[in-house]
Structure 1
Amino acid sequence: MKIAQIAPLTERCPPSTYGGTERIVSYLTEELVQQGHDVTLFASGDSVTRAKLVPCCDLALRLDTRVQDPLPYHLMMVSRVMAYAEDFDVLHFHIDMLHFPLLGRMSVRSVTTLHGRLDLPDLQPFYACFPDFSLVSVSTAQRLPLPVLNWAGTVHHGLPPELLACCANPRGDYLAFLGRISPEKRPDRAIEIALRAGMPLKIAAKVDRVDRSYWESTIGPLVAAHPHVEYIGEINEREKSAFLGNARALLFPVDWPEPFGLVMIEAMACGTPVVAFSAGSVSEIIDPGVSGYVVHGIDEAVAAVHRASALPRAGVRAAFEARFTVARMASDYVRIYGSLDKSGAADAPEGESGELAALA
């Protein structure tokens, strides 16, 4: 099958440090190549891939100091994709909605994975204007604000099994927070949980420009005030195994409708249990008492930290291998690709299994 993967340009594929969507696009692209498909990746020019790379900007836009507005670059990429659209059996978009107006004029097979939150009020009229495009959710919970769209399936993310090593005997006596400093990720909750549990906390996270004031007003002062809370900054893929693997547990105290939460399965791949607040996809990802615990408040989280650190780490890793590998993710997507027709609709695949949810 000739497949085009269209990635955001904010980060390269795979990202050098933080980056969720581009990381998943990279893993999916490489696995599809491994499975024998002819794959073309539309992405930033510094991306690294075994697929055919069509560079749509020189560098990842977040790292290019010359770039003030990412929108023109993404629109230029969409134009380039459309110029070659009929060369592919399927176009797989990961850029939200930018391509819809142009795509509607073409008779091509396409699917769009929505990676973000869908509870924003402006999205309902937009998707109502484009009702025929096939969409994929990354969790069942993600769909809840817009349940009647043309959902072709739900595909949970997956990771290469060899990417992160399972740490059977963690050397660190600390809790971990990994991802992004922002109000919805609630690093302030992570700090409170660690302090009340009497355990050090290590925070490995980026601070976007939009969240700089939150860091300076709220999180930075908390880190400075507590010597057992350490801010490390962004870490790369090579550093994740040690950071997550040596932690007693990952804290995921989110306060928003989390679409997926890639860091949860990254921790699981390292054998590290997760203590996560019940929001969005969390209850779909965590198997309570196996890969961690789902909690509903600070008190429950503090109690769960001590229970989670006693969970067998081989069992945490086994839960990852059973449900969240890149091979499973790619197979789910290939099944969806085969269900598409050129009108944008998707026929329900027979015998769906694994993480590929039934069609809405």
Structure 2
Amino acid sequence: MRIAILGHVRQRIGQPFAGGMESHCWHLATGLRARGHDVVLFASGDSDPGLPIDPVLPVHYEAQFPGAEHRGHAPLIAHIDAGYEAACDRIAVGRFDVVHNNSLHRFPIEPRRTAVVPTVTSLHVPPYDALHWFVRESAVPGHRLTVTSRGQLEAWWPDGAPPQASVLYNGIDPASWPYRPQGDGHAVWCGRMTRDKGPHFAAQAARLAGIPLTLFGAIEDPEYWAAEVEPLLGETVRYGGHIAGTALADAMGRASVFVFTPCWDEPFGLVAVEAMACGVPIAAFDMGAAREVIGPGGCFAPMGDVAALADAMIAATALPRAPQRARVEALFTRDVWLDGCEALYRAVIAEHRAEHGAVRA
């Protein structure tokens, strides 16, 4: 198949990943190419040069408009809209069999667009006002929608999901996250350094539990970092930087517990799955899809309850490690995920052909 992958353009698509959405998009592109598909990634122009990139924007917009994401910044909105409108126009005439849309933008899901090229849209976030109405109106033949958990499906469609919507769990390559049968007694946290990811809670709980903790990830919100996380660093809590690939997998695999602290309605939790692949038990806030994804391999605490999280960390270190890996191999591998993507592509192409005629533009 000739597949257009339309990415989110807040950050570049490449390692080290800024977050789960960027990881999802990169692994989707590389995984589909490895399976023999002709893939074009529509993303920021500064994304991984090893992928065939058609730039939506010359560079990711956080580089040009730092911190403007949630502030209704008119120049940023106009900049993004122009980029996606032009990209959608190019896709429409690009003779693609299907679009996999990860953009979280309203233009690619307009029925006039999905009537031209069959589209699968993956929703990586809970519903929010700027997109919610457009998503609900986009559930038409020739457009399939996926979410990353059952809880997220209910959040987007509390009165019942349309037949075009389904759950598609994210997947990872287990070979990139080698299993280790034993940890060394310390804890790891990984993610974007922002308030909604909660690294300050992880640091506070680790100090209370008496378990050394290393934090990994990009410092996305420097003011939050300086005010609430940096003062907690010391002998037992350290910052390990923003690392990727083998180095991160090695650091994660050596841990005895992974601390997962979503402070919002987390739709999946890719970092938790990566830790589980290494065999690491999870201590987590019971938010969003955390319990659905982590399952019996975790110990949970109410969101914001530092004392309960510290207890969960101590309890998690006693959990067996093999079941964590087994859960990933059963539910969250890249092959299982890509099989699901290909099945959706075939289904939406057939549906589009029945509704609109010719598949390619």
AA matched with 2:352: K
Q: Is the 8 A contact 2:139 2:145 kept in 1?
A: no
Cα distance, 1:45–1:183 mapped onto 2, change above 3 Å: closer
Matched with 2:317 is 309
Matched with 1:283 is 291
**How far, CA to CA, are the matches of 2:294 and 2:6 in structure 1?**
29
1:193-215 deviation per Cα after TM superposition (whole angstroms, max 9, x unaligned): 2122111111112222xx33222
Which of 15-24 and 124-133 deviates more? 124-133
AA matched with 1:39: V
Aligned residues: percent identity?
29
- Which residue, out of 184, 187, 191, partners 2:203? 191
- Which residue, out of 289, 306, 331, partners 1:323? 331
Distance apart, 1:322 and its partner CA: 1.4
1:297-316 deviation per Cα after TM superposition (whole angstroms, max 9, x unaligned): 44443233233223332332
Matched with 1:169 is 182
Distance apart, 1:287 and its partner CA: 2.1
AA matched with 2:278: C
TM-score, length-normalised on structure 2? 0.82
1:94-114 deviation per Cα after TM superposition (whole angstroms, max 9, x unaligned): 011232476525432112111
AA matched with 1:145: A
| Runs of 5+ unmatched residues, structure 2 | 69-74, 356-361
**How far, CA to CA, are the matches of 1:331 and 1:227 in structure 2?**
45
SS at match of 2:259: strand
Note if 1:180 corresponds to 2:192: yes
1:44-79 deviation per Cα after TM superposition (whole angstroms, max 9, x unaligned): 334447764324444444457999848625632442
The aligned length equals 337
Q: Is the 8 A contact 1:259 1:280 kept in 2?
A: yes
Distance apart, 1:249 and its partner CA: 0.7
Note if 1:85 corresponds to 2:95: no
Matched with 1:42 is 42
Matched with 2:119 is 110
Q: Is the 8 A contact 2:190 2:271 kept in 1?
A: yes
**How far, CA to CA, are the matches of 1:299 and 1:11 in structure 2?**
35
Which of 296-305 and 109-118 deviates more? 296-305
Matched with 2:144 is 134
**How far, CA to CA, are the matches of 1:57 and 1:15 in structure 2?**
18
Q: Is the 8 A contact 2:99 2:118 kept in 1?
A: yes
Matched with 1:72 is 79
**How far, CA to CA, are the matches of 2:83 and 2:58 in structure 1?**
13
1:315-352 deviation per Cα after TM superposition (whole angstroms, max 9, x unaligned): 3222211111111111111111222233999xxxxxxx
Which of 70-79 and 304-313 deviates more? 70-79
1:250-294 deviation per Cα after TM superposition (whole angstroms, max 9, x unaligned): 111222100111110111122211111111111111121xx3223
SS at match of 2:166: strand
Note if 1:213 corresponds to 2:230: no
Cα distance, 1:49–1:320 mapped onto 2, change above 3 Å: farther
Distance apart, 1:230 and its partner CA: 1.1
| Runs of 5+ unmatched residues, structure 1 | 346-360
Cα distance, 1:81–1:229 mapped onto 2, change above 3 Å: same
Distance apart, 1:247 and its partner CA: 1.4
**How far, CA to CA, are the matches of 2:332 and 2:278 in structure 1?**
13
Q: Is the 8 A contact 2:126 2:156 kept in 1?
A: no
Cα distance, 1:168–1:213 mapped onto 2, change above 3 Å: same
Q: Is the 8 A contact 1:10 1:60 kept in 2?
A: yes
**How far, CA to CA, are the matches of 2:279 and 2:99 in structure 1?**
35
Cα distance, 1:294–1:92 mapped onto 2, change above 3 Å: same
1:205-264 deviation per Cα after TM superposition (whole angstroms, max 9, x unaligned): 2222xx3322232222233xx531112332222321122111111111222100111110
Q: Is the 8 A contact 1:82 1:103 kept in 2?
A: no
Cα distance, 1:241–1:23 mapped onto 2, change above 3 Å: same
Distance apart, 1:168 and its partner CA: 2.5
Flag the structure with higher helix content: 2
RMSD of aligned residue pairs (Cα, Å): 2.9
